[in-house]
A and B are shown apart, each in its own frame.
Chain A
């Protein structure tokens, strides 16, 4: 079994929850050629180990007057011979470890001894349910008359991608040793599942005249091509087909698999450009003779797009013997869902014809793309032909062509977008059955009920019921500058005999997100045993909801993150005829901006929020990419609620439902319905080991038109340290929170105030930039100075990351300190204590247009002056950077330890700066904070991490530092700690005299918080003070400093 990932103690416990519960499989039993669990991963047996099996020690079938006995050995040999076909695949490493026989005959009486969780100690059992009693036990009396058998591989460890136990039950009552018989095909098919394969669809006709679309079991099927893993079984040869060979080899490849075969890769898009998950892609061998392309009846290989849940429409067709191929897409059989599913998408778009890849002529427009035109691909062993991209041929906006159970994409007019449950759409799918859906259509036969409304795609349903515009009436759209109205005009309910009365109703989408339904005439019957119809809105992919009496709700009916609907169970209940329903989204009017979202398999961005309001807060959490579009993550935006005085802490992967192996690169905006929300975010590594890099800040709540990045180290040896200059890079991250594009002028100044270089960048609306200094300014090395960013537009937000080999220093951009003349740091440490050395580097920048006289004063814990540096004259754009030990005469970092605070005074506004502190040798740990000008009387630190374990790497501390800058007053400070549910876990008071400073770990001050993981700290003071929070582990592989969110 794969090594288990150690369960780490938690620095940010709720953030790290994902590490313990990753990738819970979500697909039902189904999924193309294999079982995906997201982000390119799938379940299989450990390829480095043989898959063992152990056979029942009883007869396969007892004899009776009609059938002779099938002995244990006959049955076992039949099973071995059958499953050997998977082993015999030369390009797959499937090996079986035949462990002989179980010690006893397994029957219903002793079955529990080998079933999960008891398991068979001997291996994965293959049970001969000789009399069918086991099947009858679990599936009911009489079930052995129809259930032939089942295989059920399971994983015991959800961290794992390997199966670790499987159970196969074969029903002796239906056993039949006829070669190539259905029983043998069943065994081979079930062992395909046992090994991790799932169904494939190959060999179906494009349609079967008069029988379409139920072409799944058609007599016109090409049985020569249909693989063993086809969802229906027919008698005939049970030889593995190329598709079976390709995919078992994909799961368990030999070292030379990629050399023996070729591969075709590509993507499939919808006509409108979006990814197309759930299309069947087939490579068919062809021969070309004098321009005529002839398809082979065998050797086909297929896959379902996005079979690895990549959400890109991608596919790959491995295991192709060298030769010429054509590639086409086709719809999946609508009957192949649930237990017989092909691919992981039971809801899939199907309204497109079979369409061959034809190179540059590919188009989604059937008028431009001859879908039968084939581009022949010459596949060679050992080579991959990439970028074979197809576009499904679809009509758009032709609502008059809607048939029964049909759907049609409707692309909005240029410039019109419609916001719905946090996402903004440029198109909608109009479904015959009385509604609109987003992302994917819904034109299929099935219950038009509450569950369909809840669990399907995002939906606006003026009347979800079985309507048939092909019989009479029309679905049409009427557009204006600010709205679009879709009208079902005289459309009757479907009926096999026709003649149902017309129904007329409409839905109007307004540009501002408001929606209205109007009903003129309605006359329909209950639909498919599931009621009369459903009216309402749903964000989709829900598992539950509550039906409401919509006509009794106050208009407009508000919606945010849950479905709002009414399920009408009987016709007399339908009380909407002649009325209009108005819906309006509940807005999030206040925004928090996090300028950088980063992440990959090892690195994360985590977010924490505390709702300081006395009421629930609605949250809309969006992640945007550099182009300003919402990143294609499953739960982006994340719509949720945060109860009063509770805290939420999540990894970005968790918030957006994305696997950690999927790259995250963008920025995050969190909209809240009430403004009093504290925030916190951290970037770091540690998803695959001990955290060695971590730092962060709080969110911006406003934008700046001029931003400053004060700490610059970029290039080889650009960061000074006792062990010698360290290599460093500095990344600048900027985000544009506006509805309009902005232009950025970035200017690099050296310490003397000389402008060295300039860069200009454009940021689209909601777009972002992440770029290193070298790329921006073309400088081989930068050490010191600062970057000024001038925004042409309403503003921007920014964050900088200085990355060293073992440390990450990160803090928010400054807006320039337009009014204050004094700034502070509650943390100033220098020297060695207990064998631990620490340094502090201070940096000040004069951003004003005039020379400033700047004085830096180091104070001890009692508020006594330790040293003064200055006054020094800093010209406009000049900066000063130095080691505190040297500047204030505190001695080297190897000397006696000093701790205190820093005060920076200037004779006018515009002086900003930062402090960096940490390990002086090579910055094994370190943290950075901007100098603080905003003093607090009420503030929140939005995370607590006091994990206690026996391992110093995973035991963490939370520290606080306070400084009272007042020259007269004593600060009475109250520190209250709460868990994430808002329950107070401890408190303390602290009196700080004028100029005094204190720092401590939270546990030291409030022992009850020992072990607390999650929650927040509320700080209140009668006198404005300066404070900061520090996180680290006891091994000090990292340190992170974060300012508070100041409310007063």
Chain B
């Protein structure tokens, strides 16, 4: 049975969930928040992984992505360098739980804006990293929580405010893999609602 595809855990079980804990604790963020916190959202292919100069005592890894489809804050065809603090290993400096990427991997990333040090990370760590599933009915995506967070603490009314239709909301509420184009459309709609004056969560 598919772990990600079939993980339809009842929403009630998430009512008080704070997200995955490691030596880094991250709270659960819904799709509306993810778009709000993200500076760039794109479907990309990782084409390079390099160690970079450490910052503030943390080892840094530089990933180069070819943007296959820009969704927010970036255009298709661009190349973007994503510099992240390395995921901490046992007893070694780093930020435990920081997602990492492999060369050749295609992903949808929701990335925070670069800090003054040029560092970033996915929004909600694993929540902002979507793997791709090529299925007969199209390309689907699923994140590190099996998309269970997408409507966490998000009411239908709030979804409407964010520009989502009831049908769209229902798609995300079910969790599990969603069509990439559905996610991309929703991200663009939510972003438009922010641009149209809806109060930014940031």
Contact = CB atoms under 8 A, between A and B. Distances in A.
A494 B177 CA distance: 14
Contacts of A108: 116
| CB-based closest 10 A-B pairs | A339-B97, A529-B132, A140-B112, A214-B7, A141-B113, A140-B120, A339-B22, A219-B13, A529-B106, A116-B57
B65 to A, nearest CB: 13
Nearest to B14: A217
Interface in A663-707: none
A148 B3 CA distance: 27
A186 interface: yes
A141 B91 contact: no
A335 B114 CA distance: 29
Given A140-B114, A152-B94, A217-B17, 18 more contacts: A30-B22, A138-B56, A139-B112, A140-B121, A142-B202, A146-B26, A147-B24, A147-B125, A154-B93, A155-B91, A193-B96, A217-B9, A217-B13, A338-B97, A447-B105, A528-B132, A529-B133, A530-B104
A152 B124 contact: no
Nearest to B130: A529
Contact of A43 (B39, B91, B132, B136): B91
Interface string A231-251: 111111000000000000000
8 contacts: A35-B91, A108-B116, A138-B95, A143-B112, A174-B27, A211-B9, A496-B137, A500-B136
B137 to A, nearest CB: 7
A212 interface: yes
Nearest to B33: A145
A567 B19 CA distance: 35
Contact of A139 (B1, B18, B20, B121): B121
Nearest to A233: B18
A990 B102 CA distance: 58
B47 interface: no
B98 interface: yes
A217 B148 CA distance: 10
A28 B91 CA distance: 9
Residue of A25, A142, A145, A233 with highest tally of chain B CB at under 10 A: A142
Interface stretch (B81-89, B162-170, B189-197): B81-89
Interface string B181-202: 0000000000000000000011
Nearest to B85: A138
Interface string A364-382: 0000000000000000000
Given A29-B96, A142-B38, A142-B112, A526 B134 contact: yes
A235 B123 contact: no
A495 interface: yes
Interface in B10-30: 10, 12-14, 16-27, 29
B130 to A, nearest CB: 9
Given A138-B117, A214-B146, A219-B13, A143 B2 contact: no
Contacts of A37: 90-91
A140 B12 CA distance: 31
Interface string A443-460: 011010111000000000
B8 interface: yes
A654 interface: no
B95 A137 contact: no
B23 A150 contact: yes
Main secondary structure of the interface of B (DSSP, over half): loop
B105 A530 contact: yes
Contacts of A163: 91
B131 interface: yes
A155 B12 CA distance: 41
Residue of B87, B96, B201 with highest tally of chain A CB at under 10 A: B96
Contacts of A212: 1
A338 to B, nearest CB: 7
Contact of A339 (B10, B24, B102, B134): B24
B13 A29 contact: no
A395 B84 CA distance: 44
B37 A146 contact: yes
Residue of A141, A212, A497 with highest tally of chain B CB at under 10 A: A141
A149 B6 CA distance: 31
Given A146-B26, A218-B13, A111 B92 contact: no
Interface residues of A, number: 92
B119 interface: yes
Contact of A528 (B26, B58, B97, B133): B133
A189 B97 CA distance: 14
A116 B58 CA distance: 8
B107 interface: yes
A821 interface: no
A117 interface: yes
Given A29-B97, A447-B131, A147 B136 contact: no
Contacts of A497: 135-137
B39 A340 contact: no
A353 interface: no
A219 B202 contact: no
A27 interface: yes
Contacts of A199: 21-22
B115 interface: yes
A1021 B131 CA distance: 67
A139 B120 contact: yes
A31 interface: yes
B1 A531 contact: no
Nearest to A445: B3
A762 B18 CA distance: 63
A174 B25 CA distance: 11
Interface string A486-503: 000000001111011000
A25 B119 contact: no
A219 B125 contact: no
A143 B121 contact: yes
A626 to B, nearest CB: 34
A570 to B, nearest CB: 11
A836 to B, nearest CB: 47
A444 B13 CA distance: 24
B55 interface: yes
Contacts of A111: 56
Nearest to A526: B134
A151 interface: yes
A534 to B, nearest CB: 11
Contact of A494 (B2, B119, B120, B127): B2
A405 interface: yes
Nearest to A117: B57
B156 interface: no
B92 A115 contact: no
A186 B115 contact: no
Contacts of B2: 404-405, 445, 494, 496
Contact of A405 (B1, B16, B37): B1
B111 interface: yes
Contacts of A112: 56-57
A190 interface: yes
Contacts of A569: 104
Given A145-B33, A214-B3, A150 B56 contact: no
Interface string A83-120: 00000000000000000000000001001100111100
A705 B32 CA distance: 80
A138 B55 contact: yes
Contacts of A3: none
Contacts of A151: 23
A527 interface: yes
Contact of B89 (A25, A405, A449): A25
Contact of A496 (B88, B98, B107, B135): B135
Nearest to A208: B9
B9 A150 contact: no
Contact of B18 (A28, A148, A527): A148
A146 B98 CA distance: 13
B119 A137 contact: yes
B137 A140 contact: no
Nearest to A231: B21
A113 to B, nearest CB: 10
B57 A118 contact: yes
